[in-house]
Amino acid sequence: MGKTVTVSIPSWVDEDEFRRIVDMFVKRLEGRVSVEELRRRLGVRPEDLVEDLDAVDVETLKVRERERLSL
């Protein structure tokens, strides 16, 4: 289910360009689901989550992966 939003834009803004940008924005958001919604859809209860996950530094991970692949 979607939401309807009404936007008033100044006359100097090109309507077609505005629509194109908004369409791109909405397409990027498609498929994103909040953690709470995902848990609800999958039937995962808080007590089912017993493993703590550490935050991962993506840059460090990239370096390690490059090193691993270069061997």
Give how many domains the chain has, as a whole number.
1
The answer to whether the beta carbons of residues 22 and 31 sit under 8 Å apart is no
How far does Cα 43 stand from its chain's mean position? Answer: 21
Q: What are phi and psi of 55, to 5 degrees?
A: -65, 145
Q: Domain range holding 30?
A: 15-70
pLDDT given at position 59:
85
Examine residue 27 and state whether it is found in any structural domain, yes or no. yes
pTM (two decimals): 0.40
The answer to whether the beta carbons of residues 24 and 30 sit under 8 Å apart is no
pLDDT tens sequence across 2-54? 778 888 888 998 999 998 988 888 777 776 777 787 788 888 887 777 666 67
Examine residue 40 and state whether it is found in any structural domain, yes or no. yes
pLDDT tens sequence across 5-15? 888 888 998 99
Examine residue 1 and state whether it is found in any structural domain, yes or no. no
Examine residue 10 and state whether it is found in any structural domain, yes or no. no
Examine residue 41 and state whether it is found in any structural domain, yes or no. yes
Examine residue 22 and state whether it is found in any structural domain, yes or no. yes
